[in-house]
Structure 1
């Protein structure tokens, strides 16, 4: 993915992007599958934009239990709130595929000395949209977890994915264990519920590919 195609740089021409890069506020880094980009407790002045691959934002406890809070696809940002506020990370960020990341030192870019640059107001606008979209993404997970019962959580999550895809047939970014972690349910219970829903004609699936049926087949 080209840097100039990222939502963060929308409306900023290549020459202005080059000026931002020349400030030394931007770097790229590659990570192998399983690499930890940020750990809980880290304080960072940078946030990441995923250029390729996939990363998960996860929380864990002292007993090794893990919960997937969010899946970050290519083109999307992570850790931006922590970079802006300067507070310790409350989650880990882990590469679940080989990934290439663009890191941005936000405070340096937003320095008052840069306020007269033509790209500055465009960057502020794009950052505002970025934060708003992230709020929507996190709200979606809250809606899922507020649902009572495994079936309700599954239906809430899959409905949101269908709306996002603009189709009742789509693939999700999780395998079965990861989906269970995201919905905060047991994998075996999730698999049983998906089987029941398939038998009732509510949906069909193969691995992480789903098709929802608006009317239940009889």
Structure 2
């Protein structure tokens, strides 16, 4: 008998989560843990007590393993200690859209842990071998409520995630390949810098912009010939900023 879609998602999530290998938290992992914004700049005594307060587990995750599925309630604090994750959503038309890549060390899905709607908005998949730290919702709440600095960090992270969502929507709201690419450039451009580092491969960037790779490559070549930009390796130099602004004004 065919399993209903929502039950299939939950079943897959449970099966794949328990397939991850549980490992011990090493000294290296502890150092990485305190590099994430949520736990950064804490006093030494606070650091020593955090692991005693958290009910946590550490997992070794293989490439292509799904850590969490879109549509499933967020019941844990997730921290990627090592590796890289890909974040995808299924939109209203059933299309798979890449949202971003998460590079360790970083917490993810944090705002959904205590929100009114705790449903995860995306699927998180390992792009390479990863190390994952998780903590129960209850122990995370106790930690945040007992430590003002961690509470402050948590509120900042939540606000920043909302900014990221707005940035993503700015890109997807644009109709043409060039407009989406230009918005991406301005989102990643420093205030005074003409050089923009590109964190994605061209294939990843095409998925991020929700366009085809050939279409993106064609547009980049056109903009290069028009002397608007110059691409060298994984960076882009802005040659004509006024022309760029004209596409998003």
Q: TM-score, normalised by structure 2?
A: 0.73
Match of 1:95 in 2: 126
Helix, strand or coil for the counterpart of 2:121? coil
- Structure 2 CA distance for aligned equivalents of residues 20 and 207 of structure 1: 42
Unpaired segments of 5 or more residues in structure 1? Answer: none
Note the alpha carbon deviations across 1:148-173, whole angstroms, 9 max, x for none: 31111101101211228x73324323
Match of 2:194 in 1: 168
1:1-218 to 2 correspondence within 5 Å?
2-60=32-90, 65-85=95-115, 87-111=118-142, 115=145, 117=146, 120-163=147-190, 167-206=193-232, 208-214=234-240
- The alpha-carbon deviation at position 62 of structure 1 amounts to 11
Q: Is the 8 A contact 2:87 2:102 kept in 1?
A: yes
Note the alpha carbon deviations across 1:64-112, whole angstroms, 9 max, x for none: 8421112222233211133223633232101223222332334322239
**1:29/1:213 Cα in 2 relative to 1: closer, same or farther (>3 Å)?**
farther
**1:163/1:19 Cα in 2 relative to 1: closer, same or farther (>3 Å)?**
same
Q: How many residues align?
A: 212
- Structure 1 CA distance for aligned equivalents of residues 114 and 57 of structure 2: 17
- Structure 2 CA distance for aligned equivalents of residues 24 and 196 of structure 1: 53
Helix, strand or coil for the counterpart of 1:148? coil
- Structure 1 CA distance for aligned equivalents of residues 101 and 188 of structure 2: 12
Structure with the greater relative contact order (CA < 8 A, sep ≥ 6): 1 or 2? 1
What do you get for the CA RMSD once the two structures are aligned?
A: 2.9
Moved more, 184-193 or 21-30: 21-30
Q: TM-score, normalised by structure 1?
A: 0.82
Q: Is the 8 A contact 2:64 2:128 kept in 1?
A: yes
